[in-house]
Chains A and B, each alone.
Chain A
Amino acid sequence: MSATSVPATGPALSKSSPLYFSGQGGDFFRLLVNGSLLQIPTLGFYRFWLITKIRRHLWSSTQVAGEPFEYTGTAKELLLGFLIAIAILTPIYLAYAILAFALEEQHALASAPLVLIMYVLAHFGVYRARRYRATRTVFRGIRFWMKGRGWAYAARAILWDVATVLTLGLALPWASASLERYRMRHTYFGTIQGDFVGTGWVLFKRSWWTWALGLAGLVGGVAVMIRTAKSSPDTVNVMGGIVTLGVLLIIVGLAPAVMAIKTRWQLEGLRFGDVAVASNLSIGAFYGTFIKLILSSLGFLLAFGLVVSLGGGMFAGIFKRSLAQASVGGFNAYTVAGGVGIALAYLVLLLGLGVIQRYFMGRGLWERAVQSLWVSNLDALDAAAAAGEPVGATGEGLADALDFSVGI
């Protein structure tokens, strides 16, 4: 039932067309491993090329009625965006450092609220990064593009964050709806304006039980802790561990359901003119991917531990000497070899977990979501004419420089 078999003639496209993900897992895995290995000699600079390759793979493997999307962004643009972001951030960083010192002189930790500056910049960067990705997304020879202002979006996002915190997360569905509306109404496919019709109320109705369960777990945990502290104070540490683990398990257990509910709601609300999207993503759709993620991470950690302890035994002599040298401040071939060995092992661990995370959280969830979609009234897109200009990748650079994720 490959989508490429959908005939390219008019009538078959009439009402509802499925989305199809045609990417091969093996290709993606090879791409990840090669890219990650290249990050080692380049000390991470290869990340711009890797992220571009990932996007090209995902975009071009996603087809609507046999027609693929295309990602036209380049790694050079990302690199340039990063350099511009550095140029913007350096004076901010300096001012920040001076202000932090001035405040810390009055009080330790007095500069903590300065993190807020970075937080505002983060929301701004997220919006601008989405804008960059939209203008590099091409479908049927027409690009997507975005209007709207990063600062206006950041202001909204911050107000909603405040409301969410004040209501213990209850406002989250309405926050998501409001922000998604802002994003989608400022998104265009050529001359066709996007829209978002999902409402906070619908998302709330679908997801309130996860919120209630999570909150109940938290309140229950706190209650148990208080009772333990009163009745048997010496077991409070053990109990604390058990309760934290329990609450953590509830949250981890609920996460795939929450993500599936939200993803479906978000996708179903998408509109471009008369073009509408439907999804049959089930609540349990992401659990398999999550379980695979956890199992392969554990497997990798186990294998890594085995290799390191075997290798460590073989090179124990070198490490001992290197430690002995380092402790008296010496600096010679042994310290260098030991240092490089430890750094390499650490890098391999980090990159390996990164590959696993990107394979399942990046590609895995993407595939599940895409396969759940139908698009209706696709013919309406014929009316779209080219519009919009490509924008720079400063937002992506900001996100990279400030170390927060904007997703794939």
Chain B
Amino acid sequence: MTGAVFYDGASARRRSVAVRVTSSSVDIEEAGTWIASWPCGRVRRRDAPEGILRLMLDGEPTLARLDILDPGLQTAIRTQCRELDGRNVGERTTRIVLWSMAAALSVVLCVIYLVPVAATRLTPLVPLSWEQHLGRAVDNQVKLLAGDKVCAGLPGAIALATLSDRLRRAAMPAAGTSDTVVDIQVLDAAVPNAIALPGGRIYLFRALLDRAESVDEIAGVLAHEMGHVRHRDGLRKLIQAGGTSYLAGLLLGDVTGGGALVLASRMLLDSAHSRDAETAADAFAGQTMTSLGRPAGAMAQLLARIERNESKIPAFLSTHPVTEQRLKALEQFVPTVQGAPLLTDEEWRALKEVCKTS
């Protein structure tokens, strides 16, 4: 009957050994010949099934192992060698938890605070031409998600061109050659929505046009979206989505983030710009409409009407919620001199039917 088996770490040979335990060391002998002495302080326990006490020598380069099978011997070693499990086992788990909590927290804080700031700082550094390239990529995604039927029925399209021309001249009077190009199109989609893509394209969804009762309502919405274009909010959101999906991937173990582009396009379609961005876009719309001598409050009325009548609040409104604050702020823009209507009645009717005539 052998009480212990020694594996010397040099060969896989199984060596039946006799083990003597003293207060200072574990001595290993094979058939009366000394093989090794392990200082008690450096003896560590390794994983083994029940009934076996497996030992190794800490700091030893080979994988030498000593399996103690004899229960009496196991007890002797447990009493003599006090540091079988190393030091501070309990403390180690606490440290792991604390460190990884700190790491996780820093990632979360990055997503909440740092990524928006970084996106705001990076946005002005991106050349307009790059933004336009990005815009075309996002455009393809949006069309995939929202449908790709652009309404360009003739009399309506001309009316739209007239309207956007007037708005653009009022919104960006100094618009030079190097400035943002705004390009407004109507998309045949059944959700009342309007979005501004990076690079300057604005999509007015047909359903929003259907619900509008006057040109001023639509003009206000378009001016608001022009504000987003002017402030490059779409690009900022894209950068933010990319950074967020990357950091989330770090945390959850999927760095590819499952397509930042898809995520960003979805965010453009159905999630909000920051409140500040919305307030700024509203102010931009207010100024534009005022300089045209038209009421900016009309846009607020359109949004409020949709919010009242729609059974399911459309994405656009959950992202552009009509708060009292917003309504009041918009209604404060009252033109001192009444301007001419932006479109004639005939042009307005044509615009409303732009999706039918094509």
**Chain A residues with a Cβ under 8 A of chain B:** 4, 8-9, 22-23, 38, 41-47, 49, 56-57, 59-61, 63, 67-68, 70-72, 75, 82, 85-86, 89-90, 93, 96-97, 100-102, 104-105, 107-109, 111, 118, 138-143, 189-190, 327-329, 381-386, 400-403
Please tell me which one of the listed residues A68, A71, A102, A400 contacts residue B253 in the complex, with CB atoms under 8 A apart: A400
- Given A41-B97, A45-B103, A89-B255: A138 in contact with B49 (beta carbons within 8 A): no
A329 touches B275 (CB 8 A): yes
- Given A386-B63, A400-B253, A401-B253: A42 in contact with B272 (beta carbons within 8 A): no
A141 touches B144 (CB 8 A): no
- Interface-central residue, A46, A72, A140, by most chain B CB under 10 Å: A140
B255 touches A105 (CB 8 A): no
A104 touches B261 (CB 8 A): yes
Q: What's the Cα separation between A41 and B99 when bound, in Å? A: 11
Binary interface encoding of chain B residues 290-327 relative to chain A, with 1 for a CB under 8 A from any of its CBs, else 0: 00000000000000000000000100001001010000
Closest residue of B by beta carbon distance from A327: B318
A384 touches B47 (CB 8 A): no
Residues of B within 8 A of A381 (CB): 12
- Interface-central residue, B10, B63, B97, by most chain A CB under 10 Å: B63
- Given A41-B101, A108-B143, A329-B321: A382 in contact with B47 (beta carbons within 8 A): no
Residues of B within 8 A of A46 (CB): 96-97, 100
Closest residue of A by beta carbon distance from B320: A329
Total residue contacts A-B, CB cutoff 8 A: 168
User: What is the CB-to-nearest-CB distance from A200 to chain B, in angstroms, rounded to a whole number?
Assistant: 32
Please tell me which one of the listed residues A38, A97, A118, A383 contacts residue B260 in the complex, with CB atoms under 8 A apart: A97
User: What is the CB-to-nearest-CB distance from A124 to chain B, in angstroms, rounded to a whole number?
Assistant: 15
User: What is the CB-to-nearest-CB distance from B51 to chain A, in angstroms, rounded to a whole number?
Assistant: 5
Q: What's the Cα separation between A104 and B143 when bound, in Å? A: 12
Say yes or no: is B9 at the interface (Cβ < 8 Å to chain A): yes
Q: What's the Cα separation between A396 and B251 when bound, in Å? A: 16
Since A38-B93, A386-B9 are in contact, a sample of 17 more A-B pairs with Cβ atoms closer than 8 Å, ordered by chain A residue number, is A4-B49, A45-B100, A60-B47, A63-B49, A68-B47, A71-B47, A86-B255, A105-B133, A138-B65, A141-B12, A327-B313, A382-B11, A384-B11, A385-B10, A385-B12, A401-B253, A402-B256
Of the stretches B134-142, B149-157, B209-217, the one at the interface is: B134-142
- Interface-central residue, B47, B50, B136, B259, by most chain A CB under 10 Å: B47
B14 touches A4 (CB 8 A): no
- Interface-central residue, B7, B49, B108, B144, by most chain A CB under 10 Å: B49
A401 touches B254 (CB 8 A): yes
The 9 A-B pairs at the shortest CB distance, nearest first, are namely: A141-B7, A45-B100, A43-B104, A60-B47, A108-B140, A42-B100, A403-B254, A104-B137, A384-B12
Total count of chain B residues near the partner, CB < 8 A: 62
**Chain B residues with a Cβ under 8 A of chain A:** 2, 5, 7-14, 16, 46-52, 54, 62-65, 67, 69, 93, 96-97, 100-101, 103-104, 107-108, 133-134, 136-137, 140-141, 143-144, 242, 246, 249-257, 259-261, 272, 275, 313, 318, 321, 323
User: What is the CB-to-nearest-CB distance from A278 to chain B, in angstroms, rounded to a whole number?
Assistant: 21
- Interface-central residue, A42, A86, A189, by most chain B CB under 10 Å: A42
Please tell me which one of the listed residues A8, A68, A89, A142 contacts residue B12 in the complex, with CB atoms under 8 A apart: A142
Q: What's the Cα separation between A47 and B63 when bound, in Å? A: 27
Residues of A within 8 A of B318 (CB): 327
B12 touches A61 (CB 8 A): no
Closest residue of B by beta carbon distance from A57: B47
- Given A60-B47, A71-B47, A104-B261: A86 in contact with B250 (beta carbons within 8 A): yes
Q: What's the Cα separation between A67 and B16 when bound, in Å? A: 13
- Given A328-B323, A401-B253: A49 in contact with B96 (beta carbons within 8 A): yes
- Given A44-B251, A385-B11, A401-B254: A109 in contact with B144 (beta carbons within 8 A): yes
B101 touches A386 (CB 8 A): no
Residues of A within 8 A of B14 (CB): 8, 67, 140, 382
